[in-house]
Amino acid sequence: MGLLRVMMPPKLQLLALLAFAVAMFFLENQIQKLEESRGKLERAIARHEVREIEQRHTQDGLRERDLSASVLSDSEEDVVIIYNRVPKTASTSFTNIAYDLCGKNHYHVLHINTTKNNPVMSIQDQVRFVKNVTEWREMKPAFYHGHVSFLDFTKFGVKKKPIYINVIRDPIERLVSYYYFLRFGDDYRPGLRRRKQGDKKCSKCLSGGSDCAPEKLWLQIPFFCGHYSECWNVGSQWALEQAKYNLVNEYMLVGVTEELEDFVMMLEAALPRFFRGATELYKTGKKSHLRKTSEKKPPTKESTAKLQQSAIWKMENEFYEFALEQFQFVRAHAVREKDGELYLLAQNFFYEKIYPKN
The per-residue pLDDT for range 212-257, each reduced to its tens digit, is 677 889 999 999 999 999 999 999 999 999 999 999 999 999 999 9
Label residue 335 exposed, middle or buried (CB < 10 Å: 0-12, 13-18, 19+): middle
Angle (CA) 137 142 145, round 5°: 130
pLDDT of the residue at 71: 46
Q: Measured between alpha carbons, how far is 226 from 180 in angstroms, rounded to an integer?
A: 27
Residue 288's identity, in one-letter code, is S
pLDDT tens-digit readout, 174-224: 988 867 755 555 544 454 444 555 555 555 565 556 666 778 899 999 999
Within a 10 A sphere around the Cβ of 298, how many other Cβ atoms?
A: 12
Q: Are 166 and 80 in contact (CB under 8 A)?
A: no
Q: How confident is the model at residue 337 (pLDDT cuts 50, 70, 90)?
A: confident
Q: Has residue 128 got a pLDDT over 60? A: yes
- What is the 3-class SS of the chain, one letter each residue? CHHHHHHCCHHHHHHHHHHHHHHHHHHHHHHHHHHHHHHHHHHHHHHHHHHHHHHHHHHHHHHHHHHHHHHHHHHHHCCEEEECCCCCCCHHHHHHHHHHHHHHHCCEEEECCCHHHCCCCCHHHHHHHHHHHHHCHHHCCEEEECCCCCCCHHHHCCCCCCEEEEEECCHHHHHHHHHHHHHHCECCCCCCCCCCCCCCCHHHHHCCCHHHCHHHHCCHHHHHHCCCHHHHCCCCHHHHHHHHHHHHHHEEEEEEHHHHHHHHHHHHHHCHHHHCCHHHHHHHCCCCCCCCECCCCCCCHHHHHHHCCCHHHHHHHHHHHHHHHHHHHHHHCCEEEECCEEEECCCCCCCCCCCCCC
Query: CA–CA separation, 352 vs 103, rounded Å?
Result: 40
**β-strand partners of 145:** 83, 111
Can 333 be counted among the known catalytic residues? Answer: no
User: Pick the residue with more confidence: 41 or 308?
Assistant: 308
pLDDT at 69: 47
Catalytic (active site) residue 57: no
What percent of the chain lies above the pLDDT cut of 70?
77
Q: What is the pLDDT of residues 138-166, one digit of tens each?
A: 999 999 999 999 999 999 999 899 999 99
Task: Find the catalytic residue in 57, 106, 108, 147.
Answer: 147
Nearest to 165 by CA among 260, 243, 81: 81
Under the phi-then-psi rule, with left for phi > 0, alpha for psi from -120 to 50, and beta for the rest, what region is 120?
A: beta
Tell me which amino acid residue 290 is.
Answer: L
Domain limits, the chain: 79-344
- Asked whether the whole model's pTM tops 0.75, one would answer no
Contact, 82 vs 108, CB < 8 A?
no
- How many Å apart are CA 295 and CA 292, to the nearest integer? 9
- pLDDT, tens digit, for every residue of 315-329? 999 999 999 999 999
121, 114 in Cβ contact below 8 A?
A: yes
The CATH architecture assigned to 79-344 reads: 3-Layer(aba) Sandwich (3.40)
User: Rounded mean pLDDT of 279-288?
Assistant: 78
Distance from C-alpha of 340 to C-alpha of 194, rounded to nearest angstrom: 39
pLDDT of residue 176: 85
**Of 48, 106, 108, 145, catalytic:** 145
